[in-house]
Structure 1
Amino acid sequence: MLSRTILSMSALALAGALFAAPAAAQSTAHHDHAPHAGHDAQPQAPAQRWATDAPLRAGMRNLREATETLHHYEMGHLDDVQRDNAVDKIDAAIQDMIAHCTLKPDADAALHGLLATFIAGANAARAGTFGKAELAPMQDALAQYPRMFEDHDWSEAAH
């Protein structure tokens, strides 16, 4: 029970860091995430795809793997421990992407829209309410990623 409370608190802290971190807490080498707090959760693809960095590419692959795990969980093929492992993977991927972000502000804002979907899905899984309604937006965010970001090694078929 305590570990679930800590995980929930971690998710809230992660969401806060993602969307409302005060400018004073930001590194001078890293841009401020706070201005993106009110952006659309459904970002539009740019005219030209944004460049990616290694943390973004690795993080998105981890999000894809965790989403696939949650898909199997939603179908009843996995247990709660496996679900929780997928949620932990989502949390770690997002934390790493935020900590090592080098994206330009527009690309960063678009990424936040995608990440919000994974945070919502992870929170639903943590609460025991994960289902198709949470899975579908996560799968859609994964489909949007290669339309928005230049990632030559991303394969739609890869899982």
Structure 2
Amino acid sequence: MKIKARQAAIPFALTTALLFCGVSLAADNAALHDHDHGDASFELQLDNGQKWAIDPPLRKAMNDINGAMRSSLEAIHQDRLSDEDYAALANQVNDGVAYMVANCELPPDADAQLHMVIAQLMAGSQKMTGDSDASARDGAVQVLGALDAYAQYFDHADFVPAAH
């Protein structure tokens, strides 16, 4: 029951944050990777050909999310995670997103790009909890795709997304 209350609050908070920032998602599956990451369709852009600068809270949050996904990667690939395990993983993603939203202080253009990654993290997290028609595994794959995109567009020098 505690999990369900938390899950309901996160999408509302994310929706409010995205509306406040005026972020729109564009349909371009090529922006992520060569293989399917669920419905992860958005178009990130570099900062005049360079990766976007990050701050320490963003570094911490993305390292935490990436670490959680790495620790479950083999079980995800082998389709061995239980619903409870996926829900716990989703909560770790939600906690990381909540921390970054509360603490990151990026310039507006970088923040707008980050919100596209956050939207994909949250959509994947929601799928992992069973709150959509997609499978929990599809949600995990979507989170992994968001981590790939983050690595490609943000200047987090030592960040290596979970290999999948």
TM-score, length basis structure 1: 0.76
Distance in 1 (CA, whole Å) between partners of 2:123 and 2:161 is: 22
Distance in 1 (CA, whole Å) between partners of 2:9 and 2:77 is: 23
Q: Structure 1 113/7 Cα, relative in aligned 2: closer, same or farther at 3 Å?
A: same
Q: Structure 1 71/16 Cα, relative in aligned 2: closer, same or farther at 3 Å?
A: farther
The residue correspondences of 1:29-68 to structure 2 (distance < 5 A) are: 34-40=20-26, 41-46=42-47, 47-68=49-70
Mind listing any 5+ residue stretches in structure 2 that lack a counterpart? Answer: 27-41
**Matching residue's letter, 2:148:** A
Q: Structure 1 124/104 Cα, relative in aligned 2: closer, same or farther at 3 Å?
A: same
Q: Could you tell me the percent identity over the aligned residues?
A: 24
The residue correspondences of 1:1-159 to structure 2 (distance < 5 A) are: 2-20=1-19, 34-40=20-26, 41-46=42-47, 47-68=49-70, 69=72, 72-73=75-76, 75-127=78-130, 129-131=134-136, 133-156=138-161
**Matching residue's letter, 1:65:** G
* Structure 1 segments (4+ residues) deviating >4 Å: 156-159
TM-score, length basis structure 2: 0.74
> Does the 8 Å contact 1:19/1:36 carry over to 2?
yes
Distance in 1 (CA, whole Å) between partners of 2:45 and 2:113 is: 8
Deviations 1:7-47 (A, max 9, x none): 33122233234313xxxxxxxxxxxxx13332443312331
Deviations 1:53-98 (A, max 9, x none): 1111111112223334277246332222222211111111001101
Distance in 2 (CA, whole Å) between partners of 1:120 and 1:156 is: 18
Mind listing any 5+ residue stretches in structure 1 that lack a counterpart? Answer: 21-33
**3-state SS in 2 of match to 1:7:** helix
